[in-house]
Structure 1
Amino acid sequence: MATLETRTTDTRQTIIDAAQVIMARKGWAAVGINEVLGAAGVPKGSFYHWFSSKDAFGEAMMRSYFTDYLADMDAIFARPGVSAADRLMAYWHSWRETQGLEDCLGRCLAVKLGAEVADLSEPMRLVLKEGTAGIIDRVRGMVEEGLSDGSLSVDGEPGMVAQTLYDLWLGASVMAKIHRDPAPMDNALFSTRQLLHLA
């Protein structure tokens, strides 16, 4: 039998999960709390039982998103018996499949909400800053590992290369959404291979 604490935690996460899917499609400002509660199957008016404000809710939603996103990244990067270059390229291929789609089922929140909330919510901006720093740090680690195992080479410091790659892919994702065309993502894959000196 579930305890009150378990039910409360589950309900809170259900609200967050529903919001991630809706906001990845519509954005932050276009979504009302009642729409999220309706999608989550939670009674209207109970929002403030779990969150003190919409900003606090947005912060919790983004923290949950980055926790899951970084765990998925770590799983790709931990694959045994695969070169660092191949693991890094597997990540970019995964990005292409999940970040540039019109309906990404909540898996592209950083792309969708980054520019929008940076000017609207300081708590959410700080979570985005922290989360994207975690992504870039992991990419830097893979670049360093690739230099060590000889599977890739770069012109420049690994941290700068990681930042450049993230910037490239973030921009490509936005352009793919603008054009409703995966070509920017394909160009990013090509440019990534060039930056890593992969055949």
Structure 2
Amino acid sequence: MNRSEHQDTRETILSAGELLILSKGFSAVGLSQILAQAKVPKGSFYHYFKSKEQFGVELIRRYFSHYGQVLDELFNQPEKSGKERLMSYWLHWFETQTDECCDKQCLAVKLSAEVSDLSDDMRLMLKSGIDAIIGRIEECVVLGIRDSSLPAMLDARLTAVVLYQQWMGASLMTKVRRDDSAIKTAMMMTEQVLASDSVFKKES
């Protein structure tokens, strides 16, 4: 098997696994289900992954790599202000988390509560990916402060952390309630935070 075929088969397994796990959760999906979905022989799995846990780590790594490309598209729009870029990100989150198609939803939301106590390696990969996203949001807040589309006294780091945590919590509540009320509240609160310099104000 050449390198291209190796990568194609590995990607097929990861892609099939992501769809199943988004729908059913990590623990509820067995290797046989993943391989059947991927149409790959059972013996092939351990050629690419040492264990289901390592598969989970690589699945999360792959997810955040793809998510980074989405952030590039949303944040690298020079014709838009920093605030407009941020709001396009939250709108994207709103649309994907309220979409009934599971393949559009957030793997980080799906796995954070489930696997953090099951696998430290998976937890650390989630933490690394989430920290990177918060860093990108912080950079966009700084841009908005510089171009005056956001209040000058906003604490960029605190704003990024709190807003991301708010949206993660709202996404979990959306699953519990099976409606979009929590996400709508998150959007309303985000708009208020980004319009005021008295909520997350820099310390003087």
TM-score range, shorter chain: over 0.9
- Who is 1:73 aligned against? 71
- Partner in structure 2 of residue 52 of structure 1: 50
Aligned AA for 2:65? T
- The list of structure 1 runs, each at least 4 consecutive aligned residues, that deviate by more than 4 angstroms after superposition, is none
Mapping 1:63-142, distance limit 5 Å:
63-105=61-103, 107-142=105-140
Q: Give the conservation status (yes or no) of the 8 Å contact 1:114–1:128.
A: yes
Looking at structure 2, the residues matched to 44 and 190 of structure 1 have their Cα atoms a distance apart, in angstroms, of 48
The one-letter amino acid paired with 2:88 is A
Q: Within 2, Cα distance between the matches of 1:37 and 1:144?
A: 45
The percent of aligned pairs where both chains have the same amino acid is: 44
User: Is the contact made by 1:24 and 1:106 (CA closer than 8 Å) also made in structure 2?
Assistant: no
Structure 2 unaligned regions, length at least 5:
197-204
Contact 1:84–1:143 (CA<8 Å) still a contact in 2?
yes
How many equivalent pairs are there?
A: 196
The alignment yields a C-alpha RMSD, in angstroms, of: 1.4
* CA deviations over 1:44-93 (Å, ceiling 9, x no partner): 22210110111111110000000000110111100121111011000000
Task: Say if 1:139 and 1:162, in contact at 8 Å, map to a contact too.
Answer: yes
The TM-score with structure 2 as length reference comes to 0.92
Q: What is the CA distance between 1:156 and its match in structure 2? A: 4.5
Structure number with the bigger relative contact order (C-alpha 8 A, sep ≥ 6) is: 1
TM-score, normalised by the number of residues in structure 1: 0.94
Q: 2:31 aligns with which of 1, 11, 33?
A: 33
Once the two structures are superposed, the pairs formed by residues 144-183 of structure 1 within 5 Å of their partners are: 144-153=142-151, 156-183=154-181
Structure 1 unmatched runs, 5+ = none
